[in-house]
Amino acid sequence: MSDDVASHQQTITAVLAAIDAGELAIATNYLRDDVTVLFGNFAPLTGAATFTRLFEQFTSSLQAVRHEIHHIWPAANDPDVLVAAMTAHYTRTDGEYVSLPCCNVFRMCGGLIADYRVYMDISPAMATQ
């Protein structure tokens, strides 16, 4: 594994840990200011500040979020693109736990996340409580 891929994997692990801890200001330290964020079938968003607003809105309807990372692989033809296979664990405000499969794709640029794509169906975690 190249040093760049290992560094990218550490960045991805760190940004997910910051999100899980509710430390969105720390999470944005791992993002380019012009990051593109795509979450499921929502319209793409641009910018670290927009990322913060999106996740603040999303996590305000939950008690807790935890990403269980299973694997992070570099793309075969581009070591700056990594795929993270995970289970996202949510505690809803009604106390119910929901665990969902998730796949994120990250494009790195200059050691920061330039493109952050989340592929999952979040609706079970957001179901009417």
Number of structural domains the chain divides into: 1
Q: pTM value?
A: 0.91
pLDDT of residue 71 exceeding 80, the answer is yes
Instruction: State the alpha helices, DSSP H only, in the chain.
Output: 3-20, 24-27, 48-59, 123-126
pLDDT of residue 2 exceeding 80, the answer is no
Residue 41 belongs to domain spanning = 3-126
Say which CATH number the domain at 45 has: 3.10.450.50
pLDDT of residue 129 exceeding 60, the answer is no
